[in-house]
Amino acid sequence: MSSNDVSQTHAARYWPWVLLRALPALVVAAVITFSLDHSARLGFLTFGPLALASGVVFTVGAVAALDRGVLRTMFLLQGVVSVLIGAVALFFPGAGVGFLLLLVGAWAALTGFAELYCGLRSRGRVDSAKDWLFGGALTVLLAIVALLIPSGFSQPFTGPDGVERALTSSIVLVGVVGAYGAILGIYLVIAGLSLKWADRSVAAPAAESGSHRA
């Protein structure tokens, strides 16, 4: 099978899973954006479902759309890690901001570097390589931010209405998770539709060529 055939087959099988992965990211981004409460508890209750749903998509998508080999194994590992960490986040929503920072940082580091590896390994062979590189890099960036935020950070400030407020570590982290979900979700929607249209654009000329030969 040629590299073009491999790429076409991958696009036809994989694009629905890209769009499914975008869904929880966009939902979490919307919930955080329209919530006035950016406490650690909200962080657990949004990050938990994001990691859990992503893990299910990673796992089922790997089995359904990726051939046996290193790539499938890496995405299965990402799925298992995501499901476990997501479940922990949902089981302990009151564990505090320090634990939330650790969970987000660990999840983002493990899955981000794994996805980066998949992107680097498959460059030039499958269309999703560039999407895995972007998703992996963005997730690693989330890990860096989460692991650098001090758990006790609190910066008082006066709002435009003259009310005293404080920028805390939970506000920063929850906001970053929301931004991550928005950027990743929008990118994945574009990437998934691009894979779908690429598959159709390649399949149409092939069908026409076959009809002419007939």
Residue 164 near residue 156 (C-beta atoms within 8 A): yes
pLDDT of 161 reads 60
Q: Which residues pair with 167 in a beta bridge?
A: 155
Q: Taking residues 188-212, what's their average pLDDT? A: 65
pLDDT, tens digit, 9 for 90 and up, residues 89-112:
999 999 999 999 999 999 999 999
Instruction: Report residue 167: phi and psi, to 5°.
Output: -90, 115
79 contacts: CB under 8 Å, gap ≥ 6: 55, 56, 57, 58, 59, 60, 62
Over residues 104-127, mean pLDDT: 93
Report residue 71 CA to chain centroid gap. 16
Residues 6+ apart with CB under 8 A from 105: 143, 146, 147
Query: Which domains, from first to last, does the chain contain?
Result: 3-200 (1.25.40)
Predicted TM-score (pTM) above 0.75: yes
| pLDDT, tens digit, 9 for 90 and up, residues 25-50 | 999 999 999 998 899 999 999 999 99
